[in-house]
């Protein structure tokens, strides 16, 4: 059903081109997670010991999404696995220079000279720079808005709408195929995102995008 729907979507969606920046890094080895609950007189505090750096990164982005998606209409939601997969790939799971110095975990560029930015070390004279954000949640909110409003991602939004209509759920793997405009690498980029989504679904996230225990 997913393959048939994807082919149907391809027949009705125009090809759009847009590029942003791509950042790659190698994630670290996994260990084990322990979760504890500490009860105080007035509140309950959840203390999480992460099983690896990837798990810690996922928790940070998921916390951002919990706030961003409050009261958001269903037809504007983006699958959690897709968002985290892109953030992980673009920022090396939060370890890249841009993630640390600019809080930019999606490789988002700006051409506005008046906007705070940092330059890529390999291209210091470029007319564009990496946009600086106040924190990872600020960057994630900007990314969310970008996919929901920018003309370059109209095909992505149309695909999401068709999936919601016929399957009542937007599939992260299928939607990733419509993000070729996000990177100069095109389909090579989207295949890498799909691989990361599979990894997230197998190890870290359940079918609803919640973090597995």
Radius of gyration of the chain (CA): 18
Q: Please, what is the average pLDDT of the chain?
A: 84
pLDDT tens-digit readout, 101-160: 999 999 999 999 999 999 999 889 999 999 999 999 999 999 999 999 999 999 999 999
Which pLDDT score is estimated for 141? 98
13 contacts: CB under 8 Å, gap ≥ 6: 154, 155, 158, 159, 178
- Domains of the chain, earliest start first: 2-203 (1.10.530.10)
| Measured distance CA(133)–CA(102) in Å, rounded | 6
pLDDT tens-digit readout, 33-78: 444 444 445 555 556 778 899 999 999 999 999 999 999 999 999 9
Q: Provide, rounded to the nearest whole percent, the portion of the chain with pLDDT above 90.
A: 71
């Amino acid at each position: 059903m997913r393959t048939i729907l994807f082919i149907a979507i391809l027949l009705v969606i125009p090809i759009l081109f847009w590029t942003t920046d791509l950042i790659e890094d190698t994630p670290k080895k996994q260990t084990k997670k322990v979760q504890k609950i500490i009860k105080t007189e007035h509140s309950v505090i959840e203390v999480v010991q992460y099983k690896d750096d990837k798990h810690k990164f996922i928790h940070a982005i998921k916390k951002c999404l919990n706030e961003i998606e409050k009261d958001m209409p269903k037809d504007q939601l983006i699958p959690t696995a897709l968002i985290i997969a892109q953030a992980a790939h673009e920022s090396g799971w939060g370890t890249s220079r841009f993630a640390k110095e600019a809080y930019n975990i999606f490789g988002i560029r700006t051409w506005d000279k008046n906007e705070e930015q940092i330059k890529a070390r390999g291209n210091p004279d470029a007319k564009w720079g990496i946009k600086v954000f106040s924190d990872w949640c600020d960057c994630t909110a900007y990314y969310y808005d970008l996919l929901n409003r920018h003309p370059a991602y109209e095909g992505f939004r149309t695909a999401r709408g068709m999936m919601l209509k016929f399957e009542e759920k937007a599939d992260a793997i299928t939607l990733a195929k419509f993000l070729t405009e996000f990177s100069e690498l095109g389909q090579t980029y989207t295949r890498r995102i799909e691989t990361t989504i599979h990894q997230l679904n197998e190890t870290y996230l359940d079918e609803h995008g919640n973090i597995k225990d």
